[in-house]
Amino acid sequence: MLPFHPDRTRIIFNASAKSVSVKLTNQSKTDPYLAQSWIEDKTGKKTREFISPLPPLLRLEPDEQAQVRLMAQQSLLQLPTDRETLFYYNMREIPPRAEQKNVMQIAMQSRLKLFWRPKAIELKEGQYVPLDKVVISRTASDLVLKNNSPYYITVGYNRHQWQNLIAGCGEPDG
């Protein structure tokens, strides 16, 4: 079991909010851990231009919970207003220094999809992403997903005979 556990598997950051919080839990019963956070754009490049995690480094004691606030920056106004923008929230758990010699320690890293959603396409509470603009077609050997919606679509399941289905995220206006 990994010592750190975020409270979700993806993050929707609505433009109407100034920040969104991610709760981290140290599930270790004995060891404190450091949590280092940063944001990457969809190409994997680190950025603080649009969204900044605060604090970028925090210490969690055993069984402790803490929140990292993802803060909107003014430059978000430069992003498209008619579709979502993809970022990644990264969190690295750093274990305490081992007291014994010749011990290998591993720092684990989690990466969550972070979707910036402009006001024009925000959904109301309980409302789901409309799928009427998502088209799945079949070729001789593939299934092809065409996403004409303003939302990223995550394909969570594809059967073994459809291995060539475009898995992952279907970009908006694909």
Choose between 100 and 65: higher pLDDT. 65
- Tens digit of each residue's pLDDT (9 = 90 or more) over 39-51: 999 999 999 999 9
Cβ proximity of 13 and 33 under 8 Å: no
- Tens digit of each residue's pLDDT (9 = 90 or more) over 2-52: 677 789 999 999 999 999 999 999 999 999 999 999 999 999 999 999 999
Q: What is the pLDDT of residue 99?
A: 84
Written as six digits, the tokens of 65 are 């919970």
Q: What is the pLDDT of residue 5?
A: 79
Q: What is the pLDDT of residue 97?
A: 85
Q: What is the pLDDT of residue 150?
A: 94
- Tens digit of each residue's pLDDT (9 = 90 or more) over 133-169: 888 888 887 778 888 999 998 876 655 545 555 555 5
Q: What is the pLDDT of residue 24?
A: 94
Q: Is 172 left (phi over 0), alpha (psi -120 to 50) or beta?
A: beta
What's the pTM value of the predicted model, to 2 decimals?
Answer: 0.86
Q: What is the pLDDT of residue 165?
A: 52
Q: What is the pLDDT of residue 59?
A: 96
- Tens digit of each residue's pLDDT (9 = 90 or more) over 71-129: 999 999 999 999 999 999 999 999 888 888 888 888 889 999 999 999 999 998 888 88
CA distance 120 to 31: 45
| Domain coordinates in residue numbering, the chain | 4-121, 128-173
Distances (CA, A) of 15 to 8, 71, 82, 126: 19, 11, 12, 18
What DSSP string runs through 92-109? EEEPPPPSSSS-----EE
Residue whose structure tokens are 């210490």: 59
Cβ proximity of 93 and 2 under 8 Å: yes
In terms of CATH architecture, what is 4-121?
A: Sandwich (2.60)
